[in-house]
Amino acid sequence: MTAPVKAGLIGCGSLSLIGILPQLAEPDAKERLELVAVCDVNEARARETAERFGVADAYSDPQELIARDDIDLVLIITPIEYHYSLAMDALRASKHVYTEKPVATSVSEAIRLRTAARERNLKLVCAPSVLLFPQIRYARSLLDEGAIGEVHSASGRGLAGVPPWSGYTSDPSQYFSLGGGPALEWAFIRCMP
């Protein structure tokens, strides 16, 4: 078995506490990923989260977490407006990145992130990770091979609604503001092969 990927998580709010950290604490996840640090601008929340989930280190400055040599992957679970800058900082520090959606607040920012990841041979993944699902990868391979001919139209359905999800306690207005939400995500899908 290969050693688990060492990760640091930035953002200890409700989404991390309800949807991310409990999953990372499961035995099968721990076999593949070791969470070595958490960060939140609220220092007390970062420390409490680290203690609750058995994480060794807590930070209030994301740059300190990103600068660590032992972290391979940075998980960005922050408000939308910070996704791009933190993801770019992590990529520039040669870290793989997983970020909540949207990956950025403009298509040009998303393309810059994609370029930075490719130049460094790093993975950049944005939630939800639908594009990594086996059935989606298979459909993409059929398209790439020309197996189904030229596509003239397509439609799809989302897997879940928008905030507030059950247990979501943060203010969901950012999801509906300029730079967030489904319209922007549709633009990313259309522009990012």
Question: What is the C-alpha to C-alpha distance for residues 131 and 39, in angstroms, rounded to an integer?
Answer: 27
Q: Which domain holds residue 105?
A: 1-193
Work out how many domains the chain is built from and give that number. Answer: 1
Kindly give the parts of the chain with pLDDT less than 50.
162, 164-166, 183, 185-187, 189-191
2-27 per-residue burial string, b: 16 or more CB within 10 A, e: under 16: eeeebbbbbbbbbbbbeebbeebeee
pLDDT on residue 183? 47
pLDDT, residue 155, reads 72
Are residues 21 and 9 in contact, defined by beta-carbon separation less than 8 angstroms? Answer: yes
Provide the residue type at 61 as one letter: D
Looking at residue 158, what is its pLDDT? 56
Instruction: Report the CATH number that the domain containing residue 125 is assigned in CATH.
Output: 3.40.50.720
Task: With CA atoms as reference, report the closest residue to 95 among 9, 25, 189.
Answer: 9
pTM for the model:
0.76
Q: Note the pLDDT of residue 134.
A: 81
pLDDT at site 42: 97
DSSP of 99-159, one letter per residue? EPSPS-SSHHHHHHHHHHHHHTT--EEESS-GGGSHHHHHHHHHHHHTTT----------S
Query: Residue 22 phi/psi, 5° resolution?
Result: -60, -35
